[in-house]
């Protein structure tokens, strides 16, 4: 990797050839979920689905979702890049291509994906590119990874609705969130998991644009 590439790695994603090699073995968590008391790498409950949400620092993102009715598990980790089974330090280097994400496992009969995504859009600023506030780097980009084309279509409609809401509110920037079909997820280290629940006084400054995300009506039209 060239010197100039090193200087820009916080703002440009590495290619697969430039990315760190990683390792074959996944990280095995030594803790259970601090809120749900479930294993972080256990089987998904029947009927539940998972979405990967990159919204800046995963501490605040995870806290936002673990209290929602219908969410049965959350986990902090890494996704969207090239390096298999990366460490947190490797992701922070900008040389894996991964973002910090929250894996949210939810029951769609209780919390449909479209409703869950309203909290995603409101919980961070999806217009900042490779940063969230004072957190600068590719690992803090806005990212939304779905398991299949059906969920991707729901997410694309949700993004369009929030883009329209931002425009109507006079927000000066366009959404930079990347959407893709991708289920690869790598757990972060134990001390990162449910960090704001485990560590007294810990905080996360990630915040939204202050523009409400509006649900769609029963007919499928965006509510204005």
Active site residue 57: yes
Q: What is the 3-state secondary structure (H, E, C) of the chain?
A: CCHHHHHHCCCCCCCCCCCCCCCCCCCCCCCECCCCCCECCCCCCCCCEEEEEEECCHHHHHHHHHCCCCEEEEEEEEECCCCCCCCHHHHHCCCCCCEEEEEEEECCCCCCHHHHHHHHHHCCCCCCCCEECCEECHHHCEEEEECCHHHHHHHHHHHHHHHHHHHHCCCCCCCCCEEEECCCCEECCHHHCCHHHHCCCCCCCCCCCCCCCCCECCCCCECC
User: Which residues, including other chains, have CB under 8 Å from residue 32's CB and lie 6 or more apart?
Assistant: 38, 39, 40
Task: Report the catalytic residues.
Answer: 57
């Amino acid at each position: 990797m060239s010197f100039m590439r090193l200087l820009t790695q916080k703002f440009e994603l590495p290619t697969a050839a430039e990315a760190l090699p990683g390792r074959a073995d996944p990280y095995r968590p030594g803790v259970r979920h601090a809120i749900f008391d479930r294993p972080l790498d256990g089987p998904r409950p029947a009927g539940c689905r998972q979405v990967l949400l990159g919204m800046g620092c995963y501490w605040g993102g995870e806290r936002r979702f673990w209290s929602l009715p219908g969410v049965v598990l959350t986990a902090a980790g890494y996704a969207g890049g090239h390096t298999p089974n990366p460490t947190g330090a490797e992701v922070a280097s900008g040389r894996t291509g991964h973002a910090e994400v929250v894996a949210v496992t939810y029951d769609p009969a209780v919390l449909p994906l479209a409703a869950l995504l309203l909290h995603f859009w409101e919980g961070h600023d999806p217009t900042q590119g490779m940063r969230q506030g004072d957190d600068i780097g590719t690992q803090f980009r806005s990212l939304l990874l779905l398991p299949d084309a059906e969920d991707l279509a729901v997410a694309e409609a949700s993004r369009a609705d929030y883009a329209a809401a931002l425009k109507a509110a006079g927000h000066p920037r366009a959404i930079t969130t990347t959407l893709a079909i991708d289920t690869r997820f790598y757990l972060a280290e134990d001390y990162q998991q449910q960090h704001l629940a485990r560590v007294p006084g810990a905080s996360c400054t990630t915040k939204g644009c202050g523009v409400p995300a509006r649900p769609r009506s029963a007919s499928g039209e965006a509510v204005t």
